[in-house]
Structure 1
């Protein structure tokens, strides 16, 4: 089957042929219809996650998928051939990703039935972005009426988090690259800040709205601890600053502010809840572009450069 993979950490991803997986006992094989791009994908290909000693090459990139059950492994199984499903694989660091035509996953992993009213393209965009947004909102613990500064708000996680926070009456200050006021406003952002407007523009905009600082920071963009620390300085005493890029630490924490690195803990229960909310129209997952699988290497390079808008999908 066709797949996008790397032959070694930090190697250039490319289109390759790999064997179609056979489902083991308790697994299901899914014919993938759409796979979604996440920063985690190229970070994994760079060796940022997982145990290098257990790595299997070629490493097939990707974790998010939507499609239909194609084959059932032996033993009892709640799924049936033909079921529409969405999910997030947990074994990408061992070589089995989702930028490919088929994937086999355990029935008790993060895979759920897709609601009837949820198109496959939207289902594929949901797992990582939706679950990260929901868990970041819980970790930030902003009360209704509070203010959340969101750095890198225009991507998939930021778009979902903006909506989920707004639904809880949390005021989102969305920091983005470029003029995204219309789009972020439609998602519920109380204010949109263009971080390319010049040095000091972000701090000035935040201080104008929140002279004493925001209640929480979620930084989805800053890999540099110094940049994260500058953003964390905009959080009031007693607030929370979270990094999804591993940039938080004791040295980055202003006095009285709790700083922490966020790690996603995906569950099928959470994914099923978000899938239902999306099918009912309570949550929207913006899809920016759909590409054929062979365009994935270029799309990964663009995502690495930053400034993502919505989700990028690969059509299988």
Structure 2
């Protein structure tokens, strides 16, 4: 089968022929149709989890994937051949990911059925970004009427955060360039801040001198995030997905939150799929590229919405 692999941490990605994995007891083989691309994929390729998980090489990249169950191992009860499914294809040992024609997961991993109205391609864009956004909104415990500032709103996680924060009743302030302002409004942002024209902190303080209740930051380095944190009211919350929060300083200011890593699994993914199925959440697929071109989009800067590999 075709797959996108790295042969050692930090080496160039390449398309390679790999053996088709077979499902053992309690496992499901999925013939993948599409795979979602995330910033995490590049981090995996460069060894982000090398001290946390065992890895097999050549390492097949990719966490998010969707397709059709093509075989099941002994003892599987939740899935049947022919089921359309979506999930996170990262289980120990790492290196058997979704950027391939086939992959295998335990049936009790993050793997769920895709509702009939959702395309397989769209579903593949949902797991990591959507569940991360859902985890952040749940952690912040947003109340109706609160002001929520989302920095990095136009990317994959940000696009879901805008929608989920709006559903929670927040007044959403999204950072976006002029070309993305309309898209942010369609997803639920009450206002946008053009970070090209002035520092975000200055712009938000001018329009909201009393500050904001929640800051979700997906892109800022520690010093920049420390400046933005001054916008957050006492008792508010700040969350970073890239480890930029000084959690001790937050506590000194009586602000909740910190550096967050998504722990959401099958229940949270199923919950999101239900919201998509009901029309409450849109999966913002911005680009679809063939599997052979994966190296050109993995880790590419300036992502808008989600990029999906067609397998």
Output the TM-score relative to the length of structure 1: 0.93
Answering whether residue 226 of structure 2 is matched by residue 229 of structure 1, we say yes
Question: Which runs of 5 or more structure 1 residues have no equivalent in the other structure?
Answer: none
Distance apart, 1:250 and its partner CA: 3.6
Q: Which moved more, 1:271-280 or 1:174-183?
A: 174-183
In 2, the alpha carbon distance for the partners of 1:16 and 1:108 equals 29
CA RMSD of aligned residues (A): 1.7
In 1, the alpha carbon distance for the partners of 2:122 and 2:282 equals 9
In 1, the alpha carbon distance for the partners of 2:15 and 2:38 equals 18
In 2, the alpha carbon distance for the partners of 1:150 and 1:82 equals 39
In 2, the alpha carbon distance for the partners of 1:35 and 1:93 equals 19
8 A contact 1:180–1:192 mirrored in 2: no
Output the TM-score relative to the length of structure 2: 0.95
8 A contact 2:53–2:92 mirrored in 1: no
**Counterpart in the other structure of 2:160:** 160
In 1, the alpha carbon distance for the partners of 2:162 and 2:298 equals 24
Q: How many residues align?
A: 310
8 A contact 2:28–2:76 mirrored in 1: no
**Counterpart in the other structure of 2:264:** 266
Distance apart, 1:255 and its partner CA: 2.5
**Counterpart in the other structure of 2:132:** 132
SS at match of 2:115: coil
Change (3 A) 1:171 1:60: same
Q: Which moved more, 1:260-269 or 1:5-14?
A: 5-14
Answering whether residue 297 of structure 2 is matched by residue 309 of structure 1, we say no
SS at match of 1:180: helix
In 2, the alpha carbon distance for the partners of 1:92 and 1:40 equals 16
Alignment of 1:32-51 (within 5 A): 32-51=32-51
**Counterpart in the other structure of 2:110:** 110
**Counterpart in the other structure of 1:97:** 97
Question: Which runs of 5 or more structure 2 residues have no equivalent in the other structure?
Answer: none
8 A contact 1:154–1:309 mirrored in 2: yes
In 1, the alpha carbon distance for the partners of 2:179 and 2:307 equals 20
Change (3 A) 1:2 1:262: same
In 1, the alpha carbon distance for the partners of 2:157 and 2:150 equals 10
In 1, the alpha carbon distance for the partners of 2:91 and 2:235 equals 38
Alignment of 1:235-314 (within 5 A): 235-250=232-247, 253=250, 255-302=253-300, 305=301, 307-314=302-309
Change (3 A) 1:54 1:122: same
